[in-house]
């Protein structure tokens, strides 16, 4: 496979908008939580959240992923009312102040939160639990919006105990396919589905190495792919094994360079959406990839 082979030709629609995924898109992360692992408490006030959103749009994000509940291992659960209070005012304010062109994704597994966010102007449902909560798949079908189905086993509190695979590539592909079949039987349209291999969820260092090396195998599912590894533990493990003392111990924000490199590896294997905390850095890398791709495939 060429390093600069064009992305698969996919389009995702929501209401009266269409997202062309034959070109790469950067999804900027907006955590409106007090306890997310790298930026908790920074943007959980509406005006700060909107300002950060505006900055990410200026830096090149076309999708903003808004999350009101941390899914880091052993994070505290958040009640429906609290999650809704965190997310919905931010969605409404962004839509009012940033316009209709920006795509707003909601990182939630709670159908009530998603419905309220959709009514406030959200476009995409990003669910780490792949619509497994009661009523989630039915609601996704009723709203007829794009959904991101992520591979995970168990819950954030139990997933690390379930990171056992016969073959991680085949198993992740088979488990995603099973979930796709289940939600489409309930009524979710296949053309509304985006897959997420679930980096950081129920996978260890070796699993991550295998997945990132063979991500293109998931193209066999015939669906667009979102890639999210920004600032996650695997990147810290990579740096700790580098043999370079100055980078062996890092804070989450120190992993943006290696995360950007991983994003490009994913992009060249067919991932049309790259989810990141550092939009500006990812945008620079994507700009190079796009121009080299255009040069090689005019």
**Active-site residue list:** 232, 275
Based on its alpha-carbon atoms, the radius of gyration of the chain, rounded to whole angstroms, reads 18
Give residue for tokens 């804070």. 251
Please list, in sequence order, all residues whose beta carbon lies within 8 angstroms of the beta carbon of residue 74, skipping any fewer than 6 positions away. 156, 157
- Write phi, then psi, for 115 (nearest 5 degrees): -65, -45
Please list, in sequence order, all residues whose beta carbon lies within 8 angstroms of the beta carbon of residue 235, skipping any fewer than 6 positions away. 229, 255, 258, 259, 262
Residue 104: closest CA among 151, 50, 33? 50
What is the DSSP-derived secondary structure letter of residue 221? G
Where does 58-210 show beta strands of DSSP type E? 63-67, 103-107, 124-127, 147-150, 193-196
Residues in the chain: 298
Q: CA 67 to CA 70: how far, in whole Å?
A: 7
Q: CA 289 to CA 83: how far, in whole Å?
A: 37
């Amino acid at each position: 496979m060429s390093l600069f082979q064009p992305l698969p030709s996919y389009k995702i629609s929501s209401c009266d908008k269409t997202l062309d995924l034959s070109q790469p898109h950067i999804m900027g992360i907006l955590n409106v939580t007090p306890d997310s692992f790298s930026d908790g408490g920074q943007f959980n006030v509406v005006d700060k959240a909107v300002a950060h959103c505006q900055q990410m749009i200026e830096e090149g994000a076309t999708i903003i992923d808004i999350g009101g509940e941390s899914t880091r291992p052993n994070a505290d659960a958040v009640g429906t009312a609290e999650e809704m209070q965190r997310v919905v005012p931010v969605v409404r304010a962004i839509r009012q102040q940033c316009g209709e062109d920006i795509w707003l994704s909601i990182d939630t597994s709670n159908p009530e939160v998603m419905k309220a966010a959709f009514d406030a102007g959200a476009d995409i449902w990003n669910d780490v639990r792949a619509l497994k909560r009661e009523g989630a798949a039915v609601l996704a079908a009723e709203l007829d919006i794009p959904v991101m189905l992520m591979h995970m086993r168990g819950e954030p509190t139990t997933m690390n105990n379930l990171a056992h695979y016969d073959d991680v590539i085949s198993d992740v592909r088979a488990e995603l396919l099973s979930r796709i079949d289940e939600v489409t039987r309930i009524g979710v349209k296949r053309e509304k589905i985006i897959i997420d291999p679930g980096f950081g969820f129920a996978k260890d260092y070796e699993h991550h190495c295998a997945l990132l090396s063979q991500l293109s195998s998931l193209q066999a599912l015939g669906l667009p792919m979102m890639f999210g590894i920004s600032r996650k533990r695997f990147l810290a493990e990579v740096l700790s094994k580098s043999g370079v003392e100055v980078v062996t111990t890092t804070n989450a924000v120190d992993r943006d360079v290696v995360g950007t490199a991983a994003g490009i590896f994913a992009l060249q294997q067919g991932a049309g959406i790259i989810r990141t905390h550092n939009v500006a850095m990812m945008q620079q890398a994507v700009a190079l990839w796009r121009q080299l791709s255009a040069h090689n495939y005019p």
